Structure 1
Amino acid sequence: MTLRDKIQGWLDRMARSYAAGDSGACADMFTEDATLHSPFAPPARGRIEIETLHRDWTGTATAKRFYIRSFGGSGDIAWVLARFSEGDTGTGTTLAVLDRSADTGWLCKACSLNEEQT
């Protein structure tokens, strides 16, 4: 499996968890000390804050999709720039830094969501 396939798999899992309204599953895709920045809410630091944020977002969740624009990685660190689309939120871009461990696989260490301007 290529790095692109692994990253797309991570994005697809996030989209499924989000659409299912499962804020816990969304948060579990982040490291314990992750940060998430978004124009839709104040910054979230740590898995507990990230779960709380996703609880608000997934309360009225609709289908979400991610499309990889660019990605790269070396060893146990990878990054992805992806376009997202989601019902109420619309479209935007996310930049995520992923960290891989033997125990947990790929988890997000840092993420920035940006709203697409129309």
Structure 2
Amino acid sequence: MTAILEFQKLFDGYVACYRSNDPAGCASFFSDNAEIFSPYGPAAKGRKAIEATHAEWIDEGAETKAIEVVQADINGHIGWCLARFSEGAADHGTSLNVLYEQPDGSWLITHCSLNETG
């Protein structure tokens, strides 16, 4: 499976949790010591902080959340991807993510930087 398809599958699961108003489910796609950097609030470090951040982010526009992986690569147990995101009419941007392969072959996000686009 190509890196784009592999990571799109991960983000499809994340979006399903987001649309279901499930902050804990969203956080489950991140490693225990993951970090999110966002223009929408302070950095979130650790899975519990990421869950709390998602509890604040998820609102009535959640059903329109979409993420499309546009570039990705894997080198050993480390991967990266650039993705486009949108939510409702107002929120659009890109995210740059670093992922680490887990012993069971699944992937978790370790670092995520969200960037707004006009």
With structure 1 as the length reference, what TM-score do the two structures score?
0.92
Give the total of aligned pairs.
Answer: 117
CA deviation after TM superposition for structure 1 residue 4, in Å: 1.9
CA deviation after TM superposition for structure 1 residue 98, in Å: 0.6
Q: Which residue of 1 aligns with 2:77?
A: 76
Q: Given the alignment of the two structures, is residue 19 of structure 1 paired with residue 15 of structure 2, yes or no?
A: no
Report SS of the residue matched to 1:99: strand
Report SS of the residue matched to 1:62: helix
Q: Which residue of 1 aligns with 2:56?
A: 56
Unaligned runs of 5+ residues in structure 1 are none
Instruction: Check whether the contact 2:4–2:70 (CA below 8 A) recurs between aligned residues.
Output: no
Q: Which residue of 2 aligns with 1:40?
A: 40
Q: What is the CA deviation profile of residues 1-49 of structure 1, one whole-angstrom value per residue up to 9, with x for unaligned ones?
A: 3222111101111111111110000011100100000000100000000
Instruction: Check whether the contact 1:15–1:63 (CA below 8 A) recurs between aligned residues.
Output: no
For residues 102-113 of structure 1, the aligned pairs below 5 Å read: 102-103=103-104, 105-113=106-114
For residues 62-101 of structure 1, the aligned pairs below 5 Å read: 62-87=63-88, 89-101=90-102
Check 1:35–1:55 CA distance in 2 against 1; reply closer, same or farther (3 A cut): same
Aligned-CA RMSD value: 1.4
Report SS of the residue matched to 2:63: coil
With structure 2 as the length reference, what TM-score do the two structures score?
0.92
Aligned-pair identity (%): 38
Check 1:89–1:37 CA distance in 2 against 1; reply closer, same or farther (3 A cut): farther
Q: Distance in 2 between matches of 1:89 and 1:15?
A: 17
Q: Distance in 2 between matches of 1:37 and 1:15?
A: 18
Q: Distance in 1 between matches of 2:55 and 2:111?
A: 19
